[in-house]
C-alpha cells in the first residue's frame, strides 16, 4: 500500500480552479518532486495536503487513513510535517526550543507539573533535551543550540532548522516547500547532503517543491509537473525532465 | 539529581536573579522601615506597589508570552477584589485572619480565572486590535455592572437589584453585601507588605515556571508564528486559553491583595477602569515586553515617580506624562536606539527595551 | 411611540457625534496604523478652546468654532510630529500606543493646570430660539438636529475629498499599501500629517457639539466619548469611514435606548456587550475586510 494516495483533488478560489484533478501516489521511502512554473499551484497542493485549505473535491489518504478535510493539527498528528517557502521559525525562541516545540505532542507532562516543578517535569524535559540534541546533531545545529535564537542563525541554517523542527514531530511524510530557495550553490549542496542523510538515517519519505533543477535531478526519484493547476505529466525523473511538453511549459512556446 | 542541577543551571539562573531581587527589596524596605526612614506616604504605598507589580507579571503573561494585547486586565483584578472581599466580610471573625485571607486570595484567583476562561473561549479567536478592544469592553462591563449592582443576603437567600438596596433583603436578618456605587465596606485590613511580597513571588513562580515548560514553549510558538505552530501540531486555542486564564488568576490574586488594603471597596473608574488596565500595559511595555523582571521594575519606578515628584504639586502628573513620552521615544526610536547601542549608553530599563525591540525578550 | 421616536432621534444625534469622532479614529488607524488614544483628549481641548473663545472672550459663535478647529488641527499636527513620528519605524505597534497614552495624560493634566479641575458650564452654541424644536408631534432638541446635519455634511465633504482630490487619493493609497504608495511618489509623511490634521479638526467640531449637548466640561470630558467612538470605529470595521459612521450611529442609538428603557447605570455595559456580540459574529466588524494570511 502506498504511503500517500491522493485522488482527484481540486480546490476553487472564487472562479479560479487553483488545483484541479490532481492525483499523486507516493510509496514509502520515496523522494518525490513536485515541480512546475510559478503560480502552477504547487504550494496550494501542499496547503491542501497539510489541511491549511480544505479541498472542494477529492480524497487524501495517508497510510490508508482518510485525512481529507482534517485540521492542520490533526494532519500533523496523523504524520505529515512540512516546511514553508518563506521560512516560518519561532524567531524569538532558541534553536533548541524550536525543536522542542516540534517534539511537543510526543512528550507529556501536566501544566501543574510544570508550575510546581514536579519530578515528571525534570524527567521529561531531560528526555526532550536528549531527543532534540540527537536531531540537531544530524543537522549540525547542536552548537550553542540552547542559547542561540533562531532569528540569529544564518539563512541556510534557518532552512535546516525548519526541517529539523518538522522531523521532531515524528512524521511519516515530510513536505519541503522550496528548501533551496535563496541558497547559494554551496548551501544547496549541503542541503542535498542533509536530505540524503535524513533518508538514510530515518528512512523518511519526502515530497518536495523545488525550482533548482540541479537539486531536483540530483535527488528526486519521481516527479510530478504541475501547470495551471493541472498535472502536465508524472513519472521517473529523467523521463519527465526530457519530456518536450515539460520543456515547453517552462520555456514557453516559440 | 544531576540533570536537575543542569536544568536549573541553564534555564532558571535568570529566574533566581528575579526572585532574589524581590527578596532583596523586601529586606531593604524592612531595614529602612525599622530604622524609621520611610515616610508614612511610602509605607502606605508598599501594598499597592506589590499589587501593581503582580499586575505587571499577570499582563506580561498575555502581552509578552502569548503576544496578545489586553487592555481589560483591571476587570480581572476587579473580580478578584470583590469576590475575596465578599468572602472575608461574610466569614468575619469566624476564622483566624490568616486562614481567612489565604482562602480569600485563592477564591479571588479562582473567580478571576473562571472569568478569564469564559471570556477567553469566545474572544481569543479574534486577533490584534480587535482582541484588544474586546478585552477593554469586558473590563468596562465588569466595572460598570459591579458599580451598579446591589446584592444582599437574608434567610431566603441571595438577592440582587440594579436600582436600589431598598427592600432588597428582609430587614430583620438580611445584610447588604454590595451597596451599589458605595461598594463594600468593612473588609478586614488583612493585606501587608509581607503577604504582598509572598504573592508577588508566587505569581512570578507561576509565570516563570510556565514560561520555561512544555506549555510555555507552545504558547510562545503561537506568539512567534501561529501557522508554523499549527503545522507542528500545537493546539492554538488550548494554549491561548491556558495563558489567558492563568494571567487572570494572577490578576485575581492582585485584586484580593488590593481589596484587603482598603476600608471601602468601590468599582470606580479610577480603581478598575480602562485607565488602570492601560497603566499596567505601560509597565509591561516600558519594562521590556516579555521581561517579567523589567515589568516589575517599571511598575515600581512608575508608581514612585509621581510620589517623588510630589514637591512639584500640580505639575507632577504633567511631568510624569512628559517623562513617559520621552522615555518611549528614547528607548524605541530606531536612531536613538542605535546611538545608545553604539555608545553603550542607557539605564538598565532602556537596555531591556532595546533588546525587546530586536528580540522581543 | 412618540417617546420611542424622540429617543431614536436623541440616540441618532449622540450617535452622529460619536460618528464624527470615530471617523477621526478610523482614518488615523487606516493610514498611520496606530490607535491614537489621545484622540478623545483633542475633543476636550477643542471644547475648552471654544468655551474660552466664545463664553469668556465673547467671540461670535462661528468664529469661535472656526478658531477652535484651527487650534485642534495645529495640535494634531504638532502631536504627530513630536510624539508619533519618531516611533513610526519602531518595529512594535505597542511603542506608539504607549506614547499615545502619554500624550493623553499630558493633555488631560495640562488642561487641569490651565483650566483647573472644576467643571465648566459650556454655553450651547445653538441659538436660544431653536433650543427645542417642535416637529409635528415630536419635541426635539435643536442640537440633536444640528449634530445629525453636521455629521452628514462632514461625511459628504470627506467622501468627496477622498475620492475626488489628489491628497484624498494619496490617503487612500497610503491606507492600502504604504510602501507601494511611497514608491509611486506619494509623500507618506505629508499624508499622515494631513490625516492627523483632518481627524483633529473633526474632533474639535465633535467637542463643540458634545458640550452643547451636555454642557459639563472637565479635563477628562473627552476620555469616555473617545473610548466609545473607538468602540464604534471597531464595531463598523476599523479603517472604514462608512463603517465608523454606521458604528457611531448604532452605538448612539443603543446607548440612548438602553439608558431610557433598561437602566441609566448599566447602559455602558450594554453598549460594550453589543460590541462584543457583533465582533464574535463578525470578527472584523460590520464593514471590515478579512485579511487572510498567505501561507
- The answer to whether domain C2-281 has CATH 1.10.3470 is yes
| Interatomic CA distance for residues C77 and B354, integer angstroms | 28
* Beta-carbon contacts of residue A107 (< 8 Å; ≥ 6 apart): A124, A127, A128, A131, B214
| Interatomic CA distance for residues B262 and C125, integer angstroms | 44
| Interatomic CA distance for residues B331 and C102, integer angstroms | 14
The phi, psi pair for C132, rounded to 5°, reads -125, 140
| Interatomic CA distance for residues B221 and B215, integer angstroms | 10
- Closest Cβ–Cβ partner in B69, B133, B335 for C230: B133
Per residue of chain B (361 residues), give pLDDT as tens: 455 555 555 667 888 889 999 999 999 999 998 998 888 888 899 999 999 999 999 999 999 999 999 999 999 999 999 999 999 998 888 889 999 999 999 999 999 999 999 999 888 888 777 888 889 999 999 999 999 889 888 877 788 888 777 777 777 777 888 888 888 988 899 999 999 999 999 999 999 999 999 999 999 999 999 999 999 999 999 999 999 999 999 999 999 999 999 989 999 888 998 889 999 999 998 888 899 999 999 999 989 888 887 777 778 788 888 988 998 888 888 888 788 777 765 444 443 433 333 333 3
Which residue from B minimizes the CA distance to C293? B227
- Closest Cβ–Cβ partner in C102, C112, C275 for B137: C275
Q: Is the dihedral of CA A56, A59, A62, A67 positive or negative?
A: positive
Q: Residue B148 and residue C265: Cβ atoms within 8 Å?
A: yes
* Beta-carbon contacts of residue C276 (< 8 Å; ≥ 6 apart): B123, B134, B137, B138, B141
Q: What is the dihedral of CA A143, A145, A151, A157, to 10 degrees?
A: 50
Contact C96, C88 (CB under 8 A): yes
Contact A204, A198 (CB under 8 A): yes
Q: Residue A104 and residue B206: Cβ atoms within 8 Å?
A: no
From its phi and psi, is residue B288 left (phi > 0), alpha (psi between -120 and 50) or beta? Answer: left
Confidence of residue A252 (pLDDT cuts 50, 70, 90): low
pLDDT digits (tens, 9 = 90+) for B331-352: 888 888 788 777 765 444 443 4
Q: B308 or A101, which is more confident?
A: A101
Run of H or E residues at B226: helix B226-231
Contact B286, C98 (CB under 8 A): yes
The third-level CATH classification (topology) of the domain covering A4-251 is Rossmann fold (3.40.50)
Chains in contact with A, counting 3 or more C-beta pairs less than 8 Å apart as contact:
B, C
DSSP letters along B69-129, please?
--S-HHHHHHHHHHHHHHHHHHHTTSS-HHHHHHHHHHHHHHHHHHHHHHHHHHHTTS-TH
Helix, strand or coil for residue B177?
strand
DSSP label at residue C131: S
Contact A2, A26 (CB under 8 A): yes
Q: For position A15, what pLDDT does the model report?
A: 83
Which residue from B minimizes the CA distance to A77? B233
* SS3 readout for chain A: CCCEEEEEEEEEECCEEEEEEEEEEECCCCEEEEECCCCCCHHHHHHHHCCCCCCCEEEEEECCEECCCCCHHHHHHHCEEECCCCCCCCCCCEHHHHHHHHCHHHCCCCHHHHHHCCHHHHHHHHHHHHHHHHHHHHCCCCCCCCCCEHHHCCHHHHHHHHHHHHHHCCCCEEEEECCCCCCCHHHHHHHHHHHHHHHHHHCCEEEEECCCHHHHHHHCCEEEEEECCEEEEEEEHHHHHHCHHHHHHHHCCC
Domain spans, chain A = 4-251
Which residue from B minimizes the CA distance to A130? B3
Q: For position B41, what pLDDT does the model report?
A: 83
Q: For position B346, what pLDDT does the model report?
A: 46
pLDDT score of A219 more than 80: yes
Q: For position B212, what pLDDT does the model report?
A: 93
Q: For position B347, what pLDDT does the model report?
A: 42
Q: From residue C176, how far is each of A91, C27, C171, C172 by CA, in Å?
A: 27, 12, 9, 6
Residue ranges of chain C whose pLDDT lies below 70 = 290-295
Domain spans, chain C = 2-281
Q: From residue B170, how far is each of B90, B92, B158, C49 by CA, in Å?
A: 17, 21, 11, 53
Cell numbers 523521463 correspond to what residue? A239
Confidence of residue A123 (pLDDT cuts 50, 70, 90): very high
Kindly report the nearest CA distance between residue C283 and chain B, in angstroms.
6
DSSP label at residue C141: E
DSSP label at residue C177: -
ipTM of the complex: 0.92
Length of chain A: 254
Contact C241, C162 (CB under 8 A): yes
For an interface test with B, which of C85, C269, C285, C292 has the most B Cβ atoms less than 10 Å from its Cβ?
A: C269
Q: Helices C223-236 and B129-148: crossing angle, nearest 10°?
A: 130
* Grid cell digits, residue A16: 479560479
Helix, strand or coil for residue B185?
strand
Helix, strand or coil for residue B172?
coil
Q: For position A86, what pLDDT does the model report?
A: 92
HSE-CB of A20 using CA atoms within 13 angstroms: 11
pLDDT digits (tens, 9 = 90+) for C236-273: 888 888 899 999 999 999 999 999 888 888 888 999 99
| Interatomic CA distance for residues C69 and C66, integer angstroms | 5
B3: which chain A residues are within 8 Å (Cβ-Cβ)?
Answer: 122, 126
- A209, A214, A213: which is closest to A224 by C-alpha? A209
| Interatomic CA distance for residues A216 and B207, integer angstroms | 47
- Closest Cβ–Cβ partner in B4, B10, B217 for A101: B217
Q: How many CB pairs under 8 A join B and C?
A: 138
Q: For position C290, what pLDDT does the model report?
A: 66
Kindly report the nearest CA distance between residue B299 and chain A, in angstroms.
24
Contact C34, C96 (CB under 8 A): yes
pTM summary value = 0.89
- Closest Cβ–Cβ partner in C110, C223, C293 for B227: C293
Domains within chain B, CATH numbers bracketed: 2-359 (1.10.3470)
Q: Is the dihedral of CA C106, B316, C113, C125 positive or negative?
A: positive
The gap from C-alpha B69 to its chain's centroid, in whole angstroms, comes to: 14
Helix, strand or coil for residue C289?
coil
- C-beta neighbour count of A119 within 10 angstroms: 10
A87 touches chain C (CB under 8 A): no
From its phi and psi, is residue B81 left (phi > 0), alpha (psi between -120 and 50) or beta? Answer: alpha
pLDDT score of A141 more than 80: yes
Amino acid at each position: 500500500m502506498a504511503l500517500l494516495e491522493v485522488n482527484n483533488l481540486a480546490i476553487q478560489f472564487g472562479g479560479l480552479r487553483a488545483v484541479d484533478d490532481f492525483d499523486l501516489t507516493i510509496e514509502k521511502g520515496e523522494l518525490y518532486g513536485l515541480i512546475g512554473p510559478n503560480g502552477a499551484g504547487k504550494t496550494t497542493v501542499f496547503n491542501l495536503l497539510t489541511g491549511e485549505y480544505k479541498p472542494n473535491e477529492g480524497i487524501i489518504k495517508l497510510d490508508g487513513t482518510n485525512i481529507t478535510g482534517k485540521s492542520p493539527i490533526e494532519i500533523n498528528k496523523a504524520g505529515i510535517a512540512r516546511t514553508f517557502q518563506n521560512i516560518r521559525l519561532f524567531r524569538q525562541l532558541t534553536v533548541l526550543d524550536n525543536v522542542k516545540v516540534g517534539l511537543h505532542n510526543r512528550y507529556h507532562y501536566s501544566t501543574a507539573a510544570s508550575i510546581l516543578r514536579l519530578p515528571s517535569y525534570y524527567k521529561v524535559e531531560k528526555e526532550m533535551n536528549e531527543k532534540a540534541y540527537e536531531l540537531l546533531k544530524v543537522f549540525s545545529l547542536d552548537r550553542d543550540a540552547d542559547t542561540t535564537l533562531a532569528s540569529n542563525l544564518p539563512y541556510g541554517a534557518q532552512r535546516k532548522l525548519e526541517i529539523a523542527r518538522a522531523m521532531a514531530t515524528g512524521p511519516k511524510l515530510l513536505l519541503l516547500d522550496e528548501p533551496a530557495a535563496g541558497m547559494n550553490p554551496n548551501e544547496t549542496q549541503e542541503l542535498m547532503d542533509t536530505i540524503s542523510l535524513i533518508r538514510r538515517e530515518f528512512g523518511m519519505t519526502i515530497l518536495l517543491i523545488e525550482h533548482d533543477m540541479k537539486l531536483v535531478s540530483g535527488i528526486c526519484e519521481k516527479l510530478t509537473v504541475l501547470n495551471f493547476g493541472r498535472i502536465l505529466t508524472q513519472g521517473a525523473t529523467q523521463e519527465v525532465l526530457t519530456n518536450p511538453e515539460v520543456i515547453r511549459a517552462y520555456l514557453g512556446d516559440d | 539529581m544531576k540533570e536537575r542541577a543542569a536544568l536549573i543551571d541553564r534555564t532558571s539562573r535568570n529566574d533566581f536573579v528575579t526572585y532574589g531581587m524581590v527578596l532583596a527589596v523586601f529586606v531593604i524596605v524592612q531595614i529602612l522601615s525599622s530604622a524609621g526612614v520611610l515616610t508614612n506616604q511610602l509605607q502606605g504605598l508598599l501594598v499597592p506597589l506589590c499589587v501593581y507589580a503582580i499586575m505587571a507579571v499577570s499582563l506580561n503573561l498575555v502581552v509578552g508570552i502569548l503576544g496578545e494585547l489586553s487592555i481589560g486586565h483591571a476587570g480581572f483584578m476587579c473580580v478578584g477584589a470583590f469576590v475575596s472581599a465578599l468572602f472575608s466580610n461574610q466569614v468575619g471573625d469566624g476564622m483566624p485572619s490568616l486562614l481567612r485571607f489565604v482562602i480569600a486570595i485563592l477564591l479571588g484567583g479562582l473567580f478571576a480565572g473562571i472569568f478569564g476562561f469564559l471570556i477567553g473561549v469566545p474572544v481569543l479567536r479574534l486577533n490584534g486590535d480587535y482582541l484588544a478592544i474586546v478585552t477593554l469592553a469586558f473590563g468596562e462591563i465588569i466595572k460598570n455592572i459591579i458599580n451598579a449592582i446591589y446584592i444582599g443576603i437574608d434567610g431566603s437567600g441571595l438577592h440582587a437589584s440594579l436600582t436600589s438596596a431598598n427592600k432588597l433583603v428582609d430587614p430583620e436578618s438580611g445584610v447588604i453585601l454590595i451597596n451599589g456605587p458605595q461598594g463594600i465596606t468593612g473588609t478586614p485590613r488583612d493585606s501587608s507588605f509581607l503577604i504582598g511580597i509572598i504573592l508577588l513571588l508566587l505569581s512570578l513562580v507561576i509565570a516563570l515556571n510556565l514560561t520555561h515548560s512544555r506549555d510555555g514553549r507552545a504558547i510562545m510558538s503561537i506568539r512567534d508564528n501561529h501557522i508554523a505552530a499549527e503545522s507542528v501540531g500545537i493546539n492554538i486555542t488550548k494554549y491561548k486559553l491556558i495563558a489567558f486564564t492563568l494571567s487572570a488568576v494572577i490578576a485575581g490574586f492582585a485584586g484580593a491583595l488590593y481589596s484587603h488594603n482598603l476600608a471601602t471597596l468601590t468599582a470606580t473608574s479610577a480603581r478598575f477602569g480602562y485607565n488602570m488596565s492601560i497603566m499596567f500595559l505601560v509597565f509591561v511595555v516600558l519594562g521590556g515586553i516579555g521581561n517579567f523582571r523589567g515589568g516589575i521594575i517599571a511598575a515600581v519606578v512608575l508608581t514612585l515617580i509621581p510620589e517623588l515628584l510630589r514637591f512639584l504639586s500640580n505639575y507632577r502628573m504633567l511631568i510624569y506624562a512628559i517623562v513617559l513620552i520621552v522615555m518611549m521615544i528614547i528607548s524605541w526610536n530606531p536612531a536613538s536606539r542605535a546611538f545608545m547601542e553604539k555608545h553603550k549608553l542607557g539605564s538598565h530599563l532602556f537596555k531591556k527595551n532595546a533588546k525587546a525591540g530586536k528580540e522581543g525578550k | 411611540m412618540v417617546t420611542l421616536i424622540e429617543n431614536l432621534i436623541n440616540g441618532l444625534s449622540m450617535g452622529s457625534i460619536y460618528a464624527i469622532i470615530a471617523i477621526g479614529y478610523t482614518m488615523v488607524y487606516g493610514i498611520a496604523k496606530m490607535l491614537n488614544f489621545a484622540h478623545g483628549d483633542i475633543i476636550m481641548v477643542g471644547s475648552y478652546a471654544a468655551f474660552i473663545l466664545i463664553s469668556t472672550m465673547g467671540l461670535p459663535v462661528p468664529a469661535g468654532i472656526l478658531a477652535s478647529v484651527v487650534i485642534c488641527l495645529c495640535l494634531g499636527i504638532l502631536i504627530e510630529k513630536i510624539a508619533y513620528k519618531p516611533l513610526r519605524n519602531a518595529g512594535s505597534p505597542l511603542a506608539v500606543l504607549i506614547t499615545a497614552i502619554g500624550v493623553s495624560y499630558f493633555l488631560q493634566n495640562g488642561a487641569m493646570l490651565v483650566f483647573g479641575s472644576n467643571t465648566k458650564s459650556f454655553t450651547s452654541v445653538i441659538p436660544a430660539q431653536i433650543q427645542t424644536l417642535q416637529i409635528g408631534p415630536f419635541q426635539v432638541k435643536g442640537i440633536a438636529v444640528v449634530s445629525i446635519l453636521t455629521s452628514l455634511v462632514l461625511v459628504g465633504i470627506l467622501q468627496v475629498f477622498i475620492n475626488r482630490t489628489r491628497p484624498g487619493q494619496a490617503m487612500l493609497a497610503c491606507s492600502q499599501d504604504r510602501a507601494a504608495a511611497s514608491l509611486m511618489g506619494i509623500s507618506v509623511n505629508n499624508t499622515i500629517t494631513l490625516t492627523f490634521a483632518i481627524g483633529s479638526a473633526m474632533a474639535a467640531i465633535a467637542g463643540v457639539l458634545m458640550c452643547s449637548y451636555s454642557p459639563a466640561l472637565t479635563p477628562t470630558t473627552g476620555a469616555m466619548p473617545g473610548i466609545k467612538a473607538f468602540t464604534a470605529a471597531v464595531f463598523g470595521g476599523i479603517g472604514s469611514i462608512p463603517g465608523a459612521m454606521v458604528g457611531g450611529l448604532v452605538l448612539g442609538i443603543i446607548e440612548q435606548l438602553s439608558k431610557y428603557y433598561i437602566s441609566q447605570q448599566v447602559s455602558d455595559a450594554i453598549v460594550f456587550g453589543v460590541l462584543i456580540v457583533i465582533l464574535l459574529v463578525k470578527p472584523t466588524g460590520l464593514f471590515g475586510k478579512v485579511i487572510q494570511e498567505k501561507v
